[in-house]
Structure 1
Amino acid sequence: MLIHSSGLSKVKDSVIKKILLGNEPKPELMAILVVYFVQGILGLARLAISFFLKDELHLSPVEVSVLLGIVALPWMIKPLFGFISDGLPIFGYRRRPYLVLSGILGAAAWVSLSTLAYSTWVATIAIALSSLSVAFSDVIVDSLVVERARVESQAQVGSLQSLCWGTTALGGLITAYFSGLLLEYFSTRTVFLVTAIFPLIISLVAWFIHETPVNKDIQQQPDQTHPLTITTQIKQLGQAFTQKAIWIPTAFIFIWQSTPSGEAAFFYFFTNELHFAPEFLGRVHLVTNLASLIGIWIFQSYFKSVSFRIICGWSIVISAALRMTMLVLVTHTNRALGIDDHWFSLGDSLILAIMGQIAFMPIMVLAARICPLGIEATLFSLLMSIFNLGGAISKEIGAIIMHWLGITDTNFDTLWILVIITNVLALLPLLFLNFLSDTEETNIKTFPANSVNN
């Protein structure tokens, strides 16, 4: 009986480890995954925000695009959060207290959006604070993930990033359909109030993060008399970016993410022109989140050893070509072909989401692996900030093009031109592809925590 129980236990542990892509199911890892999971669950309010800005605040597509660029600001200053966490410990701890506070801030932001946001400025501040909450907690867990990703074997390369982003996609998958269904029965403000519950989960799981107080660190490591100062970290970052293996991939990713987006205009087209109901848009989100999981599985199974340059090149070309199919929808050609708007939109979203995730995963893997030893967390957060800055610039350039084309909440006559412009410009990074060499970890210098060149 004992042998039988032992055998079942081994099988169970083996299955769990396989689900975790070879990572040990330790409490700290599970807490990290819960934080990523909650980030996905917060997609529950994504549609509610879009309908809130459109129907209650009566903003135009251009105004929505500008606002979304503004509220993304916390994601562009992530290194600052890293500096704060590293340089200003709370009761001697650099990680757990900030996760707790992030969860509380997120809950407060969603409650205020539900009860106080009756003007554009108040709504902008509330959404920005919710964004700040997620961005800060993301910096904390990203730093923990990067420290572990640095020591992955070649056979496990990208497994931890795949697991984390898969967990986020799973959270988004679970709430995707309900993000639209709830709006069929409840107001946007009620959805915001429900969403306020989830950030508090981050505050709870933060206590499972293993952390030694700063004062004990100092006692155990007499050669390091104080945690890294902000000045020291900035010097190390400057040294890191003198390496081609770091700044060239970073510049390429920034250019790639900065190409203009017409996302806000498409949302208005779907709801005001095609009259897609919130419940159907929830289905679209369900499909795209499921497709993201499929994309992660495809990357992990077939493409994790393929060079970054090859995946990026083909992803850019194929994605731009597929997005051009939006012309069929905005010109209503699909109706002439006997294809319903709903089915066309679902199929298009499915394929694009898979391609997008396959292209996104190597960016995350590369960003983690080009971080030199000694400044992993700080540099990774900076790389992600540059990535998010590109996304914000993409929205702002998209807003300028929408304004130039005269696209409004009811006028979509020139939407087909926006589709062509955005997809042609999406090919721009191909001009810089030859500058992107395969980055080898051995070509990257390390920066011991207690030594900086002056």
Structure 2
Amino acid sequence: MSSHNYFHSVVSQEAYTTDYISFQDSKPSTGKPKGPFPGHCCDHCTCSPSAECGCVNCICTPGYCKCPKPKPPTIKYNSSYDTTTSFRRPLEIEKPRAAMYDHKGVRVPYIDGPYLIQQKKNKEGSLEGGPWQAHEQDIGCQSINTLCTFYPIKGKHKKIKRWYGTFEDGYLAWSSIYLYEWFGFKYYEPLPPSEGGRLTKIPPWLPDLYSLPNLAIAMSYFCVGVALQLLRTPLIVYLIEDKNASPAEVNVLFTVMAVPWCFKVLYGFLSDCVPINGERRKPYLMLGWFFYLISNLALAAIGEPSIPAVIFFVFLMTSAYMLADVMTDALIVERSRYESRKGDLQSRGYIIRFFGSTIGAALGAVVYNKNDWSFYLPISVIFLLNGLFILVFLLPFIPYLVELSDDCKPKPFKKQCADLFETVQLRAVWQPMTFVYVFNAMQIANAAWMSFLVEGLGFRAWEIGVLGTVASLMTWFGIIAYEKYLFESSWRIVFIVCSSINVLIGLLQLALVTGKSREWGIPDIVFALGDDGVQEFLIGIQFLPLCLMYLSMCPAGSEGTTYAMLTTFSNLAGTVAFDVSTLLTTVWDVEEDTIMAGDFTGVYNLSLLCTLVAPLPLIFIGLIPRNRAHQDDLIKETTRSPVMGVIFIAVMIFTMLGTFYESIHTVREAGNVEYQDQ
């Protein structure tokens, strides 16, 4: 029998809402038919089979009575099994235990244990009856669309126990060979699909990032971290040493790696507004990683790709894993509503992500150093290795990924925009995001620092790779330190202390420029590692409070768009800082020839300026909440400012347009340089 005749069912946790009526113990007061199914509509509703909801002049819908009703009685189960059907039978009415669906979105029976139910064939080879039928004794279960317990019909269905499956608190987890289970087609209801529903039981797997239903999220974060770092050093070495790329062409590479970060808000809109087969996250997650894999395999197949090919496929793969990253964040935000300590899941997710960055940076530092070491991998093998991370670490866990959603209908674009504008008008949103934008825009890096390390101090490619590895490792340690020891600390104090220490470390960097570190007997690489390591550790500590703040700003139903918009807003401020740092290189002479000649005056002045500017945004530290409790209080106030909402959107749009313009200008400039060289 083909796989589509198997019904893959997934159970949600037990939930109850007072306005959700599945059974009605009172008899109809009139002779009129009541609801599309018995007991599913109020007494004054007249039902019509042609009506979409089954009721005429009534706000009720099938299974959802909007009229006040008494709490329904419950069904109690006998612990023994029915001897005729081998399935438990209800003794009296109870509230529904779970909502379960097959891969086509059809409601299916509740079965205790890892079972598949297969329809039997008759002598002619056709399937017996419909896909599911209820026993006549089951009250109120005359239709598959009612939310009650169903049982297979003896003689028409057979129960198949899957020995390698497990049952864990409302979730059927099993291994599978069916293709559709990797690409979505699952529906989950952790909450009743009606307004005002309340969660009465949280299954243990829901707030546990390492449980089987959530493990794909953890692995996706890990793969994002690897994708961010593994190719960075090999690509630079390959383009400069093997393809003789000009500085302008290398700059184009960094540009196409930065631009897709601006797409995150667009990806959020896409997933919130256009679900695929009833799911908003998982299909897009798979699409993102699919195109990422294709890009790496294409580069591996080419062997030694040209500069334009590298730039094109790097742009494609960066856009692809940004799509996957947005979906991973949205899955975390949706789950965070059920945490006892909000933010735990997200902090663990970013710990895994930066661990992946550390692994990627370490591999990138050693796999392509053919000039320094006798062992190295060809660039095509590195591309293949980069793609295989997805197949090995992520794909096996995709079938178990649970997407939480109580309403996956397409959302109009205008409605999504209106909801987003309502969100950014909140004082709890625009006020702290103002500080975030100003703070990130003034974290200006010394654009000539890399040239100073390579041309001035003679750092080799593997040493630059080690710096990146240590930076990722220390950021990872910083996030762990915050999650373990500073989670309940004041956000304002965290920013003040970390920024102040960063100023001291930045001033200490000047010793490397002036050569004082050598006089102290400290090798340049050791001093640079310690200096960068401490700074990245502090950046890791500052990173999580912002993420926790974004988390509390996301309304239900628009998690993908809102979280992506907030992170995009923050990232755009970083592009402003990058552009300012590039402009500052014209103030002092930091050209490569000057640095190679041993004149580090421009590097010194630029480093001093960047260090002194960085703490200035602390003047506005009062704009961010003191902690999570303060943020929740601000959200409850619902104070709105349409003017600030307009300013917020305008700043984001104009910064994004400026980034696109700068990127296009960079690409055109590189093209002009190449044309002149020819």
Between 426-435 and 50-59, the greater mean CA deviation after superposition: 50-59
Between 231-240 and 80-89, the greater mean CA deviation after superposition: 80-89
In the other structure, the counterpart of 1:160 is 345
Aligned pair partner of 1:186 in 362, 377, 384: 377
What one-letter code is carried by the residue in structure 1 that aligns with 2:449? F
Aligned pair partner of 2:306 in 115, 118, 125: 118
In the other structure, the counterpart of 1:208 is 400
Alpha-carbon separation, structure 2, partners of 1:151 and 1:22: 7
What one-letter code is carried by the residue in structure 2 that aligns with 1:87? C
> Contact conserved, 1:291 with 1:351, CA < 8 A, in 2?
yes
Aligned pair partner of 1:393 in 558, 576, 595: 576
In the other structure, the counterpart of 1:68 is 254
Q: Rate the CA distance shift 1:245–1:395 in 2: closer, same or farther, 3 A.
A: same
Alpha-carbon separation, structure 2, partners of 1:317 and 1:35: 34
Alpha-carbon separation, structure 2, partners of 1:317 and 1:65: 32
In the other structure, the counterpart of 1:331 is 514
Query: How much has 1:270 moved relative to structure 2?
Result: 2.2
In the other structure, the counterpart of 1:427 is 615
Query: How much has 1:386 moved relative to structure 2?
Result: 0.8
Between 245-254 and 51-60, the greater mean CA deviation after superposition: 51-60
Aligned pair partner of 2:331 in 141, 144, 149: 144
> Contact conserved, 1:183 with 1:278, CA < 8 A, in 2?
no
What one-letter code is carried by the residue in structure 2 that aligns with 1:170? F
In the other structure, the counterpart of 1:35 is 220
Alpha-carbon separation, structure 1, partners of 2:377 and 2:277: 42
Alpha-carbon separation, structure 2, partners of 1:132 and 1:199: 16
Query: How much has 1:142 moved relative to structure 2?
Result: 0.5
Aligned pair partner of 1:109 in 285, 289, 295: 295
Answer 1 or 2: which has greater helix percent: 1
Alpha-carbon separation, structure 2, partners of 1:353 and 1:170: 14
Q: Rate the CA distance shift 1:267–1:49 in 2: closer, same or farther, 3 A.
A: farther
Aligned pair partner of 2:356 in 171, 181, 203: 171
**Residue 238 of structure 2 is aligned to residue 46 of structure 1:** no
What one-letter code is carried by the residue in structure 2 that aligns with 1:36? Y
Query: How much has 1:112 moved relative to structure 2?
Result: 4.7
1:325 alignment partner, SS class = helix
Residue by residue, what CA displacement relative to the aligned partner does 1:317-343 show, whole Å, maximum 9, x if unpaired? 221321222211122221122211011
Q: Rate the CA distance shift 1:421–1:127 in 2: closer, same or farther, 3 A.
A: farther
In the other structure, the counterpart of 1:357 is 540
Q: Rate the CA distance shift 1:137–1:339 in 2: closer, same or farther, 3 A.
A: same
**Residue 493 of structure 2 is aligned to residue 310 of structure 1:** yes
Query: How much has 1:240 moved relative to structure 2?
Result: 1.1
Query: How much has 1:446 moved relative to structure 2?
Result: 10
Larger Rg: 2
Q: Rate the CA distance shift 1:21–1:232 in 2: closer, same or farther, 3 A.
A: closer
Aligned pair partner of 1:436 in 599, 624, 636: 624
Aligned pair partner of 2:320 in 123, 126, 133: 133
Alpha-carbon separation, structure 2, partners of 1:86 and 1:433: 33
Aligned residues: 415
Q: Rate the CA distance shift 1:391–1:194 in 2: closer, same or farther, 3 A.
A: same
Query: How much has 1:308 moved relative to structure 2?
Result: 1.7
> Contact conserved, 1:99 with 1:203, CA < 8 A, in 2?
no
Alpha-carbon separation, structure 2, partners of 1:266 and 1:113: 31
Q: CA RMSD in A?
A: 2.9
> Contact conserved, 2:281 with 2:331, CA < 8 A, in 1?
no
Q: Rate the CA distance shift 1:197–1:131 in 2: closer, same or farther, 3 A.
A: same
Alpha-carbon separation, structure 2, partners of 1:21 and 1:147: 10
Query: How much has 1:357 moved relative to structure 2?
Result: 0.3
What one-letter code is carried by the residue in structure 2 that aligns with 1:291? M
TM-score of the pair, normalised by structure 2:
0.56
Query: How much has 1:103 moved relative to structure 2?
Result: 1.3
Alpha-carbon separation, structure 1, partners of 2:345 and 2:401: 17
- Calculate percent identity across the aligned residue pairs: 27
Residue by residue, what CA displacement relative to the aligned partner does 1:288-333 show, whole Å, maximum 9, x if unpaired? 2332232122212221111222212222222132122221112222
Q: Rate the CA distance shift 1:65–1:191 in 2: closer, same or farther, 3 A.
A: same
Query: How much has 1:99 moved relative to structure 2?
Result: 1.8
**Residue 415 of structure 2 is aligned to residue 232 of structure 1:** yes
Query: How much has 1:44 moved relative to structure 2?
Result: 1.5
Alpha-carbon separation, structure 2, partners of 1:217 and 1:67: 41
Q: Rate the CA distance shift 1:150–1:314 in 2: closer, same or farther, 3 A.
A: farther
Q: Rate the CA distance shift 1:397–1:352 in 2: closer, same or farther, 3 A.
A: same
2:411 alignment partner, SS class = coil
Alpha-carbon separation, structure 1, partners of 2:269 and 2:400: 22
User: Which one scores higher on RCO, CA 8 angstroms, separation ≥ 6?
Assistant: 1
1:227 alignment partner, SS class = coil
> Contact conserved, 2:427 with 2:634, CA < 8 A, in 1?
no
Q: Rate the CA distance shift 1:260–1:118 in 2: closer, same or farther, 3 A.
A: farther
Please list every run of at least 4 consecutive aligned residues from structure 1 whose deviation after the TM superposition is greater than 6 angstroms.
none
Q: Rate the CA distance shift 1:301–1:250 in 2: closer, same or farther, 3 A.
A: same
What one-letter code is carried by the residue in structure 2 that aligns with 1:146? V
Alpha-carbon separation, structure 1, partners of 2:550 and 2:620: 18
In the other structure, the counterpart of 1:402 is 585
What one-letter code is carried by the residue in structure 1 that aligns with 2:257? V
Alpha-carbon separation, structure 2, partners of 1:113 and 1:327: 41
What are the ranges of 5 or more consecutive residues in structure 2 without an aligned counterpart? 1-204, 370-375, 639-678
> Contact conserved, 1:373 with 1:446, CA < 8 A, in 2?
no
Residue by residue, what CA displacement relative to the aligned partner does 1:102-127 show, whole Å, maximum 9, x if unpaired? 112112333455647533x5443332
What one-letter code is carried by the residue in structure 1 that aligns with 2:348? L
Q: Rate the CA distance shift 1:72–1:208 in 2: closer, same or farther, 3 A.
A: farther
Q: Rate the CA distance shift 1:405–1:204 in 2: closer, same or farther, 3 A.
A: farther
Q: Rate the CA distance shift 1:303–1:40 in 2: closer, same or farther, 3 A.
A: same
Q: Rate the CA distance shift 1:210–1:171 in 2: closer, same or farther, 3 A.
A: same
Alpha-carbon separation, structure 1, partners of 2:314 and 2:351: 25
Residue by residue, what CA displacement relative to the aligned partner does 1:326-378 show, whole Å, maximum 9, x if unpaired? 21112222112221101101111221121110011111111111223443332
Between 42-51 and 376-385, the greater mean CA deviation after superposition: 42-51
Q: Rate the CA distance shift 1:65–1:259 in 2: closer, same or farther, 3 A.
A: farther
What one-letter code is carried by the residue in structure 1 that aligns with 2:330? S
Q: Rate the CA distance shift 1:198–1:392 in 2: closer, same or farther, 3 A.
A: farther
Alpha-carbon separation, structure 2, partners of 1:361 and 1:105: 29
Query: How much has 1:186 moved relative to structure 2?
Result: 3.5
What one-letter code is carried by the residue in structure 2 that aligns with 1:342? I
> Contact conserved, 2:492 with 2:624, CA < 8 A, in 1?
yes
